[in-house]
Amino acid sequence: MANLPQEADVVVIGGGVMGASAAFHLAEAGVSVVLIEKNELASGSTSKAAGGVRANFSDELNVAMGARSLDLLADFPNRPGQEIDLHRPGYLFALSTTEDVTAFEAATKIHHKFGVESRMITPQEAKELNPLLEIDGILAASFTPNDGYCTPESVVLGYASGARKHGAIILTQTEATDISVVDGKIVSVTTSAGVVKTSTVINCAGAWSPTIGAMVGLEIPVKPLRRELLITEPLTEDFADVPDNMPMTIDYSTSLYWHREGNAMLMGFSDKSAEYGFDLKRDPKFPEKIGELAYERAPRLLELGAASGWAGLYDVAPDHNAIMGEWDGVSRFLYATGFSGHGFLQGPAIGEILRDMYLGKTPFVDISPFSNDRFSSGGELRPEKNII
Ligand SMILES: Cc1cc2nc3c(=O)[nH]c(=O)nc-3n(C[C@H](O)[C@H](O)[C@H](O)COP(=O)(O)OP(=O)(O)OC[C@H]3O[C@@H](n4cnc5c(N)ncnc54)[C@H](O)[C@@H]3O)c2cc1C
């Protein structure tokens, strides 16, 4: 493993999708970067993600970042140069209230504004796309055919390898423990492997990002929330009617979702009874709870046993939207956190944005509404509705 260098232009803290993408984009632009990860690459929330990648959001900025990320993911085998098993069978949100239908109709218009293919479809059309969907009570569905899913660990490893090729130093099993500030300027980061001099820190520590913010006096209102999913046993011949390109499907009112995972299914839902905290113990009642939702919305899934599963953390922001920007309390502290369950898919675009912010270039979208200041200075919250 590489040694901690004496100095670097930028120290990125966190080796999930955000940190790896930031390190790649900065190193590619010629910036000297050190990435510090306290465990292994992708070992935080990123490896726990369901892999969903989409532009189907309600917030214009999320639509733009989702679409940009999809373009970057489609080009991933060329740049940075890694297979990521990208499938694009689309995202299908099944809607069962008139309010939700109205909200998704409005979102569809935003999608079109950003060139994202998107349409409202009938329940019957939704069932043709996904024969497992029970459409009793469904009023309509939102379908974005170019969305999909890919492998989170591969994305992180691709960015990390690409960053290394461009000279970045990536240290795992290395924890950032302090940031030194002199006369309002960051001067160094203390780690479990020693001290590295730097003028810039990028906080990509996900659910742990408030601890890094506190090192420079910035309060970041992110809370960890356990989320669980399971992988079923392989599909039997009874599922021969389920197409390979079955969309990632979400029962919007209950958050039950499922997509193909090789020859099995990946299933999850957002358990409203979960409490904030870092506890990753799996809920013994999870199979029963998800089974109740599937009984209503996708009963054939109950024919498949659970083969494996895991729990991970959402880094939840008060309005379920990204917290991203550069804090003006010190020079220079950048942060990208609070992704509230949709960070994996934004990682590619956010790496580009962090690079541009560092270089003083204008990013492809104005991310100032995502500033952490919105929580402290009575700024406007920015709720994202299409969340899971
Ligand atoms: C069950 C589940 C399903 C999900 N499904 C999806 C999905 O389908 N699509 C989607 O877009 N998102 C999904 N997400 C959300 C997604 O996983 C996160 O938004 C995303 O991975 C956040 O990436 P990150 O790089 O910010 O954080 P992380 O991947 O958590 O990376 C942060 C890293 O910082 C490290 N770190 C923390 N403190 C320090 C320190 N002091 N020093 C050094 N390193 C430190 C941690 O070890 C960690 O590796 C899901 C999440 C879960 C839990």
Ligand 1 center–CA 204 separation, angstroms: 9
Q: Is residue 258 part of a domain?
A: yes
297 is a domain residue: yes
Does the structure show a pLDDT above 90 at 2? no
Say whether pLDDT at 281 is over 90: yes
Pick from 12, 35, 39, 45 the residue to mutate for probing ligand 1's pocket: most ligand atoms within 8 Å of its CB.
Answer: 45
How far, in Å, is the centroid of ligand 1 from the Cα of 169? 20
183 and 237 both lie in a single domain: no
CATH code where residue 332 lies = 3.50.50.60
**Residue 382 above 90 pLDDT?**
no
Average pLDDT of every residue of the chain: 97
- Tell me the percentage of the chain whose pLDDT exceeds 90: 96
pLDDT-derived band at 376, boundaries 50, 70, 90: confident
131 and 262 assigned to the same domain:
yes
- Going 97 to 258 to 298 to 129, the CA torsion angle's sign is positive
H or E, element range at 60: helix 60-74
Both 132 and 271 in one domain: the answer is: yes
Bridge partners for 336 per DSSP: 324
Mean pLDDT of the region 146-152: 98
Give me the residues paired with residue 247 across strands: none
- Picking from 265, 285, 312, the residue at the C-terminal end of a domain is 312
**Distance (Å) from CA 342 to ligand 1 centroid:** 10
210 and 308 co-located in one domain:
no
Q: Is 50 in the pocket of ligand 1 (CB under 6 A)?
A: yes
Whether residue 3 lies inside any domain: the answer is no
- Whether 1 shows a pLDDT value over 90: the answer reads no
Mean pLDDT value of segment 305-326: 96
316 lines ligand 1 (CB under 6 A): no
Q: Which atom of ligand 1 is nearest to the CA of 312?
A: 53
Chain-centroid distance, C-alpha 285: 26
Distance, CA of 178 to CA of 192 (rounded, Å): 10
Q: What is the CATH number of the domain that holds 236?
A: 3.30.9.10
Residue 177 within any structural domain of the chain: yes
Q: Are both 328 and 361 inside the same structural domain? A: yes
Per-residue pLDDT, 173: 98
250 and 178 belong to one structural domain: no
- Are 231 and 308 in the same domain? yes
Q: What share of the chain is helix, strand, coil (3-state, %, to 5)?
A: 30, 25, 45
Same domain, 248 and 346: no
DSSP 70-91: HHHHHTTTTTT------B---E
Residue 76 inside a domain? The answer is no
Chain centroid offset of residue 116 CA: 19
How far is the C-alpha of 328 from the C-alpha of 335, rounded, in Å?
12
Which residue out of 34, 54, 56, 208 has the highest number of ligand 1 atoms within 8 Å of its CB and is therefore the one to mutate?
208
Q: How confident is the model at residue 205 (pLDDT cuts 50, 70, 90)?
A: very high
Q: Which of 271, 324, 344 to mutate to test the pocket of ligand 1 (most atoms within 8 A of CB)?
A: 344
| Domain containing residue 192 | 10-48+153-222+319-376
Q: Which pLDDT belongs to residue 380?
A: 78
Position 378 scores a pLDDT of 73
Residues 326 and 308 in one domain: no
Tell me if 80 is assigned to some domain: no
Q: Are residues 158 and 214 in the same domain?
A: yes
Ligand 1 near 204 CB (within 6 A) = yes
Q: How many domains does the chain have?
A: 2
Residues 265, 304, single domain; the answer is yes
Contacts for 117 with CB less than 8 Å, ≥ 6 apart: 111, 144, 145, 146
The residue out of 312, 330, 346 marking a domain boundary is 312
Structural domain includes residue 252: yes
- Ligand 1 center–CA 13 separation, angstroms: 12
313 lines ligand 1 (CB under 6 A): yes
Any ligand 1 atom below 6 A from CB of 322:
no
367 and 265, same structural domain?
Answer: no
Six token digits for residue 87: 């499938």
Instruction: Dig out the tokens for 51 from the structure.
Output: 């892999």
Q: Is there a domain that residue 85 lies in?
A: no
**Segment 95-127, tens digit of pLDDT:** 999 999 999 999 999 999 999 999 999 999 999
Instruction: Kindly write down the DSSP assignment for every residue of 319-355, as one continuous string.
Output: TSS-EEEEETTSBTEEEEE--TT--GGGHHHHHHHHH
Confidence bin at 387 (pLDDT 50/70/90): confident
pLDDT digits (tens, 9 = 90+) for 151-183: 999 999 999 999 999 999 999 999 999 999 999
When pLDDT is cut at 50, 70 and 90, the band that residue 364 belongs to is very high
Residue 250 burial (CB < 10 Å; 0-12/13-18/19+)? Answer: buried
pLDDT for 294-304, tens place per residue?
999 999 999 99
Query: Which of the listed residues 282, 312, 342 is the one where a domain comes to its end?
Result: 312
What pLDDT score was predicted for residue 377?
A: 74
CB-CB contact of 170 with 164 (8 Å):
yes
Counting atoms of ligand 1 from 1, which one is nearest the CA of 310? Answer: 1
Of the candidates 250, 68, 290, which has an alpha carbon nearest to the alpha carbon of residue 141? 250
The Cα–Cα gap between 384 and 364 comes to 20
Q: Residue 268 pLDDT > 80, yes or no?
A: yes
